[in-house]
Amino acid sequence: MSDEEPPPPKRRWTNRQVTLPSGERQLVQKVKKKKLKESSKNWVQRQLNDPYVARAQAEGMRARAAYKLIELDEKFHFLKRGMRIIDLGAAPGGWAQVAVQRGCKVVGIDLLPIDPLPGATFIEMDFLDEKAPARLINLLGGPPDLVLSDMAANTTGHQQTDQIRTGALAEAAAEFAIEHVAPGGAFVTKAFQGGLEAGLLARLKQSFATVRHAKPPASRAESSEVYVVAQGRKG
């Protein structure tokens, strides 16, 4: 989601008159491509120069975000073969791809459609839908050993608003993890500088043996995102 491509440039219609052979004048419409916004130009340039984008293409990964999960796991070692995992905000499937490669069973959810991935089940649904938690756990076959969340709200262009909205999704993911993660399990979520709301962070610390913040190298330096890693779900 954070690695989605920006929308294609919008087209606009302009009117002009042409003279027909009969001498009549007729109004016609001509399509003009709108120039790329500066933010879109910057995004394209950044993608072209990003070594993680090139690496993802070379290694057949669905998104550069896969390397964020790989680097977090190299630091905290929370991915273990045979785990049952719920992946929140799963599109385009980069994190699920890593988890499946590590021998885990994955059920993912996103508002966007996700291409099929052997070893994973994806549902196109709003995680905030009250029916979503039960459906995820039913598809998984029981409580998750690990909940992953790389959810990000659709951007509005206003940085503070976007951070607040994505922070709310992280907090919803944390509430889900506190309620459903199996004993000994873990929870990893995207947050922003400052992390989760203090009260919720305190609840995570009560529910998990360790709660730490990290910014993996694959997370762009200019991004304010950080990740919260909670491990050792208490019984």
- Alpha carbon of 170 to those of 1, 23, 70, 79, 100: distances in Å? 14, 65, 20, 20, 23
Read off the pLDDT of residues 27-59 as tens digits, 9 standing for 90 and up.
444 444 455 565 555 545 555 568 899 999 999
Task: Please state, in angstroms and rounded to a whole number, the distance separating the CA atoms of residues 97 and 70.
Answer: 11
Q: Tell me what pLDDT residue 221 has.
A: 85
All structural domains of the chain, each given as residue ranges with its CATH number in brackets, are 1-49 (no CATH), 62-233 (3.40.50.150)
Q: What is the pLDDT of residues 218-229, one digit of tens each?
A: 998 888 889 999
The answer to whether the beta carbons of residues 103 and 119 sit under 8 Å apart is no
pLDDT of the residue at 11: 44
Instruction: Determine the Cα–Cα distance for residues 133 and 23; give it in Å rounded to an integer.
Output: 68
Give the closest residue to 136 by CA, choosing from 229, 102, 90, 144.
144
Cβ–Cβ contacts within 10 Å for residue 32, how many? 9
Q: What mean pLDDT comes out for the span 169-183?
A: 96
pTM comes to 0.79
pLDDT digits (tens, 9 = 90+) for 98-149: 999 999 999 999 999 999 999 999 999 999 999 999 999 999 999 999 999 9
Mean model confidence pLDDT for the chain: 84
Question: Strand, coil or helix: what is 82?
Answer: coil
Residues forming the active site: 190
The H-or-E segment that residue 48 falls in is helix 38-49
